[in-house]
């Protein structure tokens, strides 16, 4: 009964002392709502001491503590022990002591500081909070944890919390830790509404089976999705992926790269280049578009496959791979180069198929047909099968070309050079006889001194250094010899001859 009487007297004292200068109509001034005991501080003008369940109110901010000194004329509160600030029913701050300035609405919190909203909790040893702008600032390390995501923890040396935007801004030694990843950065913005980390400087994301190195981007902590730009690297156990912009989902292991994409597989010693790349889970399927290239490095000749788009995938066993290239296809393998509109390669049967009037060059020799199949194994081409309208041409000069045509041909390749050709049906040949001479500068050259034109059903042709060395005619050949000055212009070219050296692919290595 005596305690209730004291509380009643304290309340009446508050009303008598404060209401005259702190009118209820003035909601923008600090008001002492309740305390168990209230008294003026002796020797200090306009200073009130409040003790026991102290409650202050200022606009939409409520301040609670065990005891406080209230400087009424400057509207400053020094609060001590079990201090609690509540703003808008969403922001709550706790500490051992604080200074609250009612004119600026800035609170300076000290000792075991905790700040929390509906989703996140911040812990530090000191904090400044601007209630007018709803911004909190710390500069001596803090730990932020998620209430919903048990494993999520963020730490940094300095940071801001923008309560209105529900966003943190971290600076210096930033670290984000989740269940299956760790993110390290120098500068980072974390938006609580979307659980997304926005980084604006050198950043590393360490995941269970991969590692990301980048400078700008967003990481969504709940979905595991990373959106990166300004150059990003993705490191996996056996593969390295770079792109100007990269989208990667750590949980699904699906990724997309944009501009200057470079994927290298160290186990296969193979490189994938494009302006766009899509990769599936486990990297068993790749789609490359816009200036796409696959480069297979080997101890022999490096194989380069180029096209507008390439589809590359592994079978379910992961043992065999298939590549399908479409539009503006180019292949380079040492001295052997190929141009076609589409190509299909399967290492299960060691076959490469070239479609839509492919053109192939072996040094100075050009081969064409409606379609070409080739065997490729042990990092080398071995046989070429030319189907329908097969044609071989070798340039001596801008006028004279050795020419071979037939319905079907088989060419044997060794170290990217043609060694032998077999023409199965309707073979026609036109080749020039040459002799060694010296030009006006004293250089050794081969001068044309005659032409043989021979037709035969089947022919074997043997090459040396990309030139015809010997021809074996089978089944009654018929032929004509012309000296150089008597070759009819109409007989300079076989029907279907077309020299297409301008289509020859150029090496991506600038050679």
Task: Indicate whether 368 pLDDT > 50.
Answer: yes
Q: Using the predicted structure, report yes or no on whether residue 205 has a pLDDT greater than 70.
A: yes
The superfamily in CATH containing domain 1-140 is Lipopolysaccharide (LPS) transport protein A like domain (2.60.450.10)
Q: How far apart are CA 209 and CA 339, in angstroms?
A: 39
CATH of 357-497, one of 3.40.50, 2.30.29, 2.60.450, 2.40.128: 2.60.450
Q: What's the pLDDT band for 202 if we cut at 50, 70, 90?
A: very high
What lies within 8 Å, CB to CB, of 233 at 6+ separation is: 212, 213, 214, 240, 241, 242
Per-residue confidence (pLDDT) for residue 511, from 0 to 100? 55
Q: Is the pLDDT confidence value at 35 over 70?
A: yes
Q: How confident is the model at residue 510 (pLDDT cuts 50, 70, 90)?
A: low
Provide the residue ranges of all domains of the chain, joining segments of one domain with +: 1-140, 357-497
Cα dist from 479 to 451, 454, 487, whole Å: 10, 4, 14
**Is 224 a residue whose pLDDT tops 90?**
no
Kindly tell me if the per-residue pLDDT of 129 is higher than 70: yes
Q: Does this chain's domain 1-140 share its CATH topology with 357-497?
A: yes
Q: What is the mean pLDDT of residues 163-190?
A: 91
Structure tokens at 421: 């050709």
Cβ atoms of residues 474 and 330 within 8 Å: no
Q: Does 52 have pLDDT greater than 60?
A: yes
- The model's pLDDT over 286-308, given as tens digits with 9 standing for 90+, comes to 999 999 999 999 877 888 999 99
Closest CA to 381 of 454, 301, 445, 488: 301
pLDDT, averaged across the chain: 87
Q: Are 310 and 323 in contact (CB under 8 A)?
A: yes
The angle subtended at Cα 162 by Cα 56 and Cα 158, nearest 5°, is 100
Distance, CA of 196 to CA of 238 (rounded, Å): 29
Following DSSP, what letter does each residue of 380-423 receive, concatenated? EEEEEEEEEEEEEEEESSSS-EEEEEEEEEEEEEETTEEEEEEE
Q: Give residue-wise pLDDT tens across range 339-352.
A: 999 999 988 888 89
User: How many degrees, rounded to 5, is the angle at CA 362 between CA 359 and CA 367?
Assistant: 35
What are residue 310's phi and psi, to 5 degrees? -135, 130
Lowest-pLDDT choice from 74-88, 263-277, 390-404: 390-404
Strand partners, 233: 213, 242
């Amino acid at each position: 009964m005596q305690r209730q009487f004291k509380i009643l007297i304290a309340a009446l004292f508050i009303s008598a002392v404060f209401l005259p200068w702190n009118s209820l109509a003035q909601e923008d001034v600090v008001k002492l709502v309740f305390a168990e005991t209230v008294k003026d501080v002796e020797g200090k003008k306009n200073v009130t001491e409040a003790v026991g369940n102290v409650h202050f109110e200022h606009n939409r901010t409520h301040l609670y503590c065990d005891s406080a000194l209230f400087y009424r004329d400057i509207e400053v509160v020094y609060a001590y022990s079990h201090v609690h600030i509540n703003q808008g029913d969403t922001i709550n701050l706790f500490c051992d002591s604080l200074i609250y300035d009612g004119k600026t609405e800035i609170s300076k919190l000290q000792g075991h500081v905790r700040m929390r909203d509906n989703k996140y909790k911040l812990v530090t040893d000191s904090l400044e909070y601007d209630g007018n702008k709803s911004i909190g600032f710390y500069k001596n390390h803090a730990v932020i944890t998620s209430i919903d995501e048990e494993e999520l923890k963020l730490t940094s040396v300095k940071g801001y919390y923008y309560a209105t935007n529900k966003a943190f801004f971290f600076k210096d030694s930033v670290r984000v830790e989740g269940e299956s990843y760790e993110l390290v950065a120098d500068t980072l913005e974390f938006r609580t509404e979307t659980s997304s980390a926005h980084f604006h400087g050198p950043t590393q994301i360490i995941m269970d089976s991969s590692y990301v190195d980048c400078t700008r981007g967003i990481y969504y902590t709940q979905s595991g999705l990373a959106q990166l730009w300004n150059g990003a690297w993705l490191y996996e156990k056996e593969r390295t992926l770079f792109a100007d912009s990269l989208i990667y989902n750590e949980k699904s292991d699906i990724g997309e790269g944009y501009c200057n994409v470079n994927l290298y597989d160290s186990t296969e010693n193979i490189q994938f280049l494009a302006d766009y790349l899509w990769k599936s889970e486990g990297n068993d399927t790749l789609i490359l578009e816009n200036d796409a290239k696959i480069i297979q490095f080997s101890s022999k000749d490096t194989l380069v496959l180029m096209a507008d788009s390439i589809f590359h995938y592994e079978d379910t066993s992961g043992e065999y791979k298939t590549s399908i290239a479409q539009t503006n296809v180019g292949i380079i393998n040492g001295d052997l180069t190929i141009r076609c509109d589409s190509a299909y390669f399967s290492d299960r049967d060691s076959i490469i198929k070239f479609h839509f009037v492919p053109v192939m060059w072996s040094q100075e020799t050009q081969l064409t047909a409606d379609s070409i199949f080739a065997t490729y194994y042990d990092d080398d081409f071995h046989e070429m099968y030319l189907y329908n309208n097969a044609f071989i041409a070798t340039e001596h000069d801008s006028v004279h070309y050795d020419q071979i045509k037939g319905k079907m041909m088989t060419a044997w390749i060794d170290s990217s050079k043609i060694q032998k050709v077999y023409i199965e049906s309707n073979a026609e040949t036109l080749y020039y006889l040459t002799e060694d001479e010296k030009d006006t500068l004293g250089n050794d050259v081969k001068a044309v001194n005659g032409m043989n034109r021979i037709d035969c059903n089947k022919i074997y042709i043997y090459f040396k250094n990309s030139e015809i060395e010997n021809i074996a005619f089978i089944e009654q050949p018929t032929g004509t010899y012309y000296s150089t000055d008597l070759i009819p212009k109409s007989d300079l070219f076989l029907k279907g001859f077309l020299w297409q050296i301008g289509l020859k692919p150029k090496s991506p290595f600038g050679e």
